[in-house]
Homo-oligomer: A and B are copies of this chain.
Amino acid sequence: MEFSASQIAGFINGKIIGDENAVITGVSPIESGEAGHLSFVAQERFADYIDSSKCSVLIVSEKLLTKESYSKTIIAVEDAYLSFQILMNLYKEMQGRKSGIEDGAVFHETSVVGENVYVGAFTCVSEKVRIGDGTQIYPHVYIGKNVKIGKNCVLYSGVRIYDYCAIGDNCIIHSNTVVGSDGFGFQPTKDGYQKIPQLGNVVIHDNVEIGSNCSIDRGTIGSTIIGKGTKIDNLIQIAHNVKIGENNVIAAQAGIAGSTVIGDWNMIGGQVGIVGHIQIGNQVKIQAQSGVNSNAKDGEILYGSPAINAGEYRRNYVHFRNFTDIIKRINTLELNSKDKTNE
């Protein structure tokens, strides 16, 4: 796609300084701008790029502009970051959405598909599945029986939804994520572990995004639940009967063990592990790689394995780093003590 500077300025009510006919065909990060590309400068610390960038058109926050003219076309706006975001959203929308049923998609006769739905080649839709209006399902997706998928969702290629799971509206699930595989439940016997049937499901509420290669297990009985607006990164494990509230962000490779209950607006770092059967409150922050093995109250900030108060962990870790010196101090004290005893 091609845009002129004047078209772009029109989208975001910007003021053009320079050639309004300058054309851009792509977008660059400001640090690696290319001729023919658009970028933006919103912060003082990137202001040098206004002159040095190779981009043909720059969106710049007004307060950062100091000259009458520049070597490239400038679009002046109040908040360049915000304007750029608006533009990127517009651009994303312009790319359009997929629709129609591709050859090779397979539907059970009892499935019900809404309007303006896209279903890609080789996707399998099982019996009694319901798919809401405007939902896009890429090729190679498997949707088990009695699954319900809401409106305006996107399921990318290779997503697997096991039987009886339910997904709300406006959800995005990236490639190869698995929703509803059996929880890890076995009863030890002297002859080996006996499987405990996993008869529940997974319920995902509206506006949830889940990254690629995640595993979200079904409840043993009852549901594993992901609350409204929660965002889940890649390669994340959510075990059976976990209940996650609203508007959480969970970074890549975190894992949450069975039956744990998590509130709202928490931030869970990458590679964090949370044991089973505990409660995490609201607005808790858990630093990357922490191992949480007990309940967390609202607003706590946790770090370490096992996780403790993050400030405390950092202070103690400083002492850990000085451990060799600390031992020397103890040695000296012992020597002095001995000297005194020998006096």
Interface residues of A (CB under 8 A from B): 27-29, 32, 39, 85, 88-89, 91-92, 103-104, 106, 120-122, 124, 138-140, 142, 156-158, 160, 162, 172, 174-176, 178, 181-182, 184, 186-187, 192-193, 195-197, 199, 207, 209, 211-215, 217, 219-222, 228-229, 231, 233-235, 237, 239, 241, 246-247, 249, 251-253, 255, 257, 270-271, 273, 275, 288-289, 291, 293, 305-306, 308, 312, 315-317, 319-321, 323-324, 326-327, 329-330, 333-334, 336-337, 340-341
State the CA gap A74–B326 with chains docked (Å).
60
Which residue of the partner chain, among B103, B156, B199, B316, contacts A91 with CB atoms under 8 Å?
B199
**How many identical chains are in the complex?**
3
Please give, as numbers and ranges, the residues of chain B lying within 8 Å of A219 by CB-CB distance: 29
Q: Across the interface, do A221 and B28 meet the contact criterion of CB distance under 8 Å?
A: yes
Chain B residues near A211: list those with CB within 8 A.
181-182, 184, 215, 217
Shortest A2–chain B CB gap in Å is: 16
Whether B237 and A252, one on each chain, are in contact in the complex, defined by CB atoms closer than 8 angstroms, is yes
Chain B residues whose CB sits within 8 angstroms of the CB of A199 once the complex forms: 27, 88, 91-92
User: Once the chains bind, are A192 and B213 in contact (CB under 8 Å)?
Assistant: no
Q: Which residues of B contact A209 (CB under 8 A)?
A: 182, 186, 195
Query: In the complex, are the beta carbons of A215 and B317 less than 8 A apart?
Result: no
User: What residues of chain B lie closer than 8 Å to A207, measured between beta carbons?
Assistant: 192
List residues of chain B with CB within 8 A of the CB of A251.
Answer: 184, 257
Assess A231 versus B120: contact at CB under 8 Å? Given A178-B176, A315-B323.
no
- Given A122-B122, A140-B142, A333-B334: A184 and B231 interface contact (C-beta under 8 Å): yes
- Return A299 CB to nearest CB of chain B, in Å: 16
**A181-B174 contact, Cβ under 8 Å, with A157-B160, A315-B323:** yes
Of A120, A175, A235, A334, chain B has the most CB atoms within 10 Å of the CB of A175
Determine which of B29, B172, B275 lies in contact with A241 in the assembled complex, contact meaning CB atoms within 8 Å: B29
A305 near B289: Cβ-Cβ < 8 Å: yes
Contact partner of A178 (CB less than 8 A), chosen from B174, B241, B288, is: B174
- Please list 20 pairs of residues, one from A and one from B, whose beta carbons are closer than 8 Å in the complex, sorted by A's number: A29-B220, A29-B222, A88-B197, A121-B124, A124-B140, A138-B142, A156-B181, A158-B158, A181-B212, A192-B207, A215-B235, A233-B237, A235-B235, A253-B273, A257-B270, A275-B288, A308-B321, A312-B321, A312-B324, A337-B337
